[in-house]
Amino acid sequence: MALKILYFAGLREAIGSGMESLELPPGVTTVAGLRAALGQSHPALLAAKNLRAAVNQKMVGMEAPVADGDEVAFFPPVTGG
């Protein structure tokens, strides 16, 4: 099974895509581990400050578990007016 990764706002622009599917990298068990693994090919993920995440449409902390088949979304801080 593959993970579905979603990127929003400035991350979407920096990465050049709003979504990708990939196999869970070996040894990755948390959102933080996934972020670090994805950061190898998407440095914007590592550079983003105060990054928020959701697993299966539920907001979670970076230490939340991830598993095969999950949908993981990354949100940079955004402002509006």
Q: Where are the domains of the chain?
A: 2-66
Percent of all residues in the chain with a pLDDT value above 90, rounded to a whole number: 84
Please name the residues in contact with 25: beta carbons below 8 A apart, sequence gap of 6 or more.
33, 34, 37
Length of the chain (residues): 81
For residue 53 the two structure tokens come to 């995440």
Domain 2-66 has what CATH class? Answer: alpha beta
Q: What is the pLDDT of residue 77?
A: 80
Please give the model's pTM, rounded to 2 decimal places.
Answer: 0.92
Query: What was the pLDDT predicted at 81?
Result: 55
Query: Taking 70 as the threshold, does the pLDDT of residue 80 lie above it?
Result: no
* Residues facing 21 on adjacent strands: 4
